[in-house]
Amino acid sequence: MKRIPPVVYYTVLRLLTFAVPLTILLLLGIEPWIATVLAALIGLSVSYIFLQRPREAVSRDLYQLRHGSKEAAEDESAEDAVSDAAASDTATRTER
């Protein structure tokens, strides 16, 4: 079974923390714009308190996507070293 990506999991939970209170408030007969504002505040509060782990998982994944792995950086520096060595070797041959 495939693992659900943290971004999808967190997004669904955040939508539920807004949709469920909104539905309840609308069923209670509260004005739609007031119900929307209250549902947004309730959803924000609930997600901040109870969704710390999914939020951190999304943050970790975004950080890894942005900064990549160290292997890629080492790979690039190795390639740079080879191309610099080839360039300096070519420069020495043309001076002779």
pTM of the model: 0.64
Looking at per-residue pLDDT, the higher value among 82 and 55 belongs to 55
The distance between the two most distant Cα atoms of the chain, rounded to a whole number of Å, is 90
The predicted model gives 36-50 an average pLDDT of 96
The predicted model gives 50-59 an average pLDDT of 94
Looking at per-residue pLDDT, the higher value among 47 and 79 belongs to 47
58-88 tens-digit pLDDT: 999 999 999 886 665 566 777 777 777 776 6
Average pLDDT, the chain: 86
